[in-house]
Amino acid sequence: MQTEHTIAGIRAALAPRRKQGERIGFVPTMGALHEGHAALIRRARNECDVVAVSIFVNPTQFGPQEDFERYPRTLEADCALCEHEGVNVLFCPSASIMYPEGYATYVAVERLSEPLCGRSRPGHFRGVATVVLKLFNIVAPDVAYFGWKDAQQLILIRRMTEDLNLPIEIVGVETVREPDGLAMSSRNRYLDPESRRRAPALYEALLQARRAFEQEGVTDCSALAQQIRNHIAQHTGGRIDYVEIVSLDQLQPLTSVQKGNTLIALAVHLGGARLIDNIRL
Amino acid sequence: MQTEHTIAGIRAALAPRRKQGERIGFVPTMGALHEGHAALIRRARNECDVVAVSIFVNPTQFGPQEDFERYPRTLEADCALCEHEGVNVLFCPSASIMYPEGYATYVAVERLSEPLCGRSRPGHFRGVATVVLKLFNIVAPDVAYFGWKDAQQLILIRRMTEDLNLPIEIVGVETVREPDGLAMSSRNRYLDPESRRRAPALYEALLQARRAFEQEGVTDCSALAQQIRNHIAQHTGGRIDYVEIVSLDQLQPLTSVQKGNTLIALAVHLGGARLIDNIRL
């Protein structure tokens, strides 16, 4: 595995392979890699000739009160995971390479960046869209892989890629979960033991809602959302940021489930962590 | 000359030439082509193997009270000029191809989009940056040509290209002028005959300021700006939008001329047209 820290370096590493017509798969990450990232890398490995991974804790997607400083940095373990999964090129730029002095350009994806996590994290998706566009332009992949865990991010990146006419395929990969159902996340390590024990209730609540829809025919979104809120309140004691049922394509609130176009998404503050999860109907 | 109206069409036209390692030069325009555009095309012709020109009157860079509807559309003459200048591929997309339903992504270049024309045309440079980024992604040129006439646009596009890590060289080409000094512009045709007669006073005022700096050693920006305003008021009767003296790199107001880093820019409403011009010291 080749590790590059500069833009010229990663470009030089990939240029000859692109020239030979090899298909380049890209997995952008903020490091602190877990099995969810490994699933993205394996999918890229299966579908592409070359797999590039980036590790960059992107300052522009963190709010001033958020966890940029304490976000886990585990570079040594990350490199081992990438090596083990057969990554060809690892790109680890510094913040000053990505955002040099005088940096001024930001990408906004209207509407899709506003609901759900956008409400409590203003500016977050602007930072995400900007860094992903930059990484796309640097790596110039044929295909890029994102987890469904961050559903809003995936949907927004797809929109941006289409809107900006980038010749890149965006692939969504299913959320990887712990054996007890908790969605894997770099932020799970913020959980104290008691909160970690309670955290699977988020996914249980989502599964309950799916059962209510599929088996009992409940289609009323406010009823489903209330059921989810109740379950989370009863079983976690966490502070609910949001539980919302929206259309998958536009992220607009639904009153009634639209089969095949419904996303139930939630964010809950629990024992030092802000956890998100979602399910599609 | 090959003319394409779809994104797939222009990509297919350029892909084989790119594959052969040919250098692609790109001149984005809004049509109503004049000698200024011809100068951009000739420069591209001299420096590249392939010249692509786009003609697209971009709705997102016009304000609601601006001249989008009446902006001159002279496609037949434009095609003839392109043909005559040796353009290889002409890209003429529709608005619905560039901004399909659900379009949501916009690019903002902070600071550089705010002063000068940005003040009286809010949203203008957001529209410019967005459409240029899209065209860059569609055409994927090696080099793109912009006129110094639109100095703020050129500086902002350079910043965007660098910030977003686009592998594209941005070339600025000197303003082409009528024999009496008026900067060529598609909007000059809005001028009634009397205003057209007076319009060269804008450039005269800029040249006077240059002489005052170079020959009389005047470096005080407010004195130079006042001299320009006086000349324009006396000789045109136009309504001055702005006369500003700013740094060339940051477009920040200067109190004293910085040799090699000074832009004097102005915008004046004159007989149905809003004219802009500038000079560098």
pLDDT at position B262 is: 98
Residue B16 located in a structural domain: yes
A12–B contact, CB cutoff 8 A:
no
B79 plus B133 within the same structural domain: yes
In order of A31, A85, A204, the CA distances from A34 in angstroms are 9, 12, 22
* Listed residues B173, B208, B239: the one ending a domain: B173
B82–A contact, CB cutoff 8 A:
no
User: What are the residue numbers of the active site of B?
Assistant: 37
pLDDT at position A184 is: 98
Q: For the domain that residue B237 is a member of, what is the CATH number?
A: 3.30.1300.10
Residue B75 located in a structural domain: yes
Query: How many CB atoms neighbour CB B188 within 10 A?
Result: 18
Q: Kindly report the nearest CA distance between residue A89 and chain B, in angstroms.
A: 19
A207 plus A163 within the same structural domain: no
A12 plus A144 within the same structural domain: yes
A199 plus A128 within the same structural domain: no
B41 plus B126 within the same structural domain: yes
* Residue closest to B279 by CA, chosen among B175, B161, B157: B175
Q: Report the residue of B134, B156, B165, B249 to disrupt the A interface, i.e. the one with the largest count of A CBs within 10 Å.
A: B165
Cβ within 8 Å, pair A134-B164: yes
A199 plus A257 within the same structural domain: yes
Query: What does the pLDDT average to over A214-241?
Result: 97
B203 plus B268 within the same structural domain: yes
pLDDT at position B12 is: 98
B158–A contact, CB cutoff 8 A:
no
Task: State the pLDDT confidence band at A57, using cuts at 50, 70 and 90.
Answer: very high
Kind and range of the H or E run holding A276: strand A273-280
* Listed residues A173, A197, A217: the one ending a domain: A173
Instruction: Give the one of B107, B138, B159 whose C-beta lies nearest to A165's C-beta.
Output: B138
Written as six digits, the tokens of B95 are: 């608005």
For A59-82, what is each residue's pLDDT tens digit?
Answer: 999 999 999 999 999 999 999 999
Between CA A34 and CA A269 the distance in angstroms is 21
Instruction: Give the one of A107, A109, A134 whose C-beta lies nearest to B165's C-beta.
Output: A134
pLDDT at position B277 is: 98
B131 plus B209 within the same structural domain: no
Quote the number of domains for chain B: 2
Query: What does the pLDDT average to over A163-170?
Result: 98
Non-local (6+) Cβ contacts of A94 within 8 A are: A5
What DSSP string runs through A9-41? Answer: HHHHHHHHHHHTTPPEEEEEE-S---HHHHHHH
Q: For the domain that residue A57 is a member of, what is the CATH number?
A: 3.40.50.620
Instruction: Give the one of B110, B137, B160 whose C-beta lies nearest to A164's C-beta.
Output: B137
Residue A200 located in a structural domain: yes
**ipTM score of complex:** 0.96
Query: What does the pLDDT average to over A7-27?
Result: 97
For B73-93, what is each residue's pLDDT tens digit?
Answer: 999 999 999 999 999 999 999
A66 plus A144 within the same structural domain: yes
Task: State the pLDDT confidence band at B191, using cuts at 50, 70 and 90.
Answer: very high
* Listed residues B173, B208, B226: the one ending a domain: B173
Q: Report the residue of A164, A170, A249 to disrupt the B interface, i.e. the one with the largest count of B CBs within 10 Å.
A: A164
Residue B180 located in a structural domain: no
B36 plus B148 within the same structural domain: yes
Query: What does the pLDDT average to over A14-35?
Result: 97
User: Contact A112/A157 with Cβ under 8 angstroms?
Assistant: no
Quote the percentage of chain B above a pLDDT of 90: 99
Residues of B in contact with A250 (CB under 8 A): 102
For B110-163, what is each residue's pLDDT tens digit?
Answer: 999 999 999 999 999 999 999 999 999 999 999 999 999 999 999 999 999 999
Q: Kindly report the nearest CA distance between residue B256 and chain A, in angstroms.
A: 22
Residues of A in contact with B129 (CB under 8 A): 105
Q: Which residues constitute the domain of residue A267?
A: 186-276
pLDDT at position B40 is: 98
A153 plus A29 within the same structural domain: yes
pLDDT at position B174 is: 98
Residues of A in contact with B102 (CB under 8 A): 159, 250
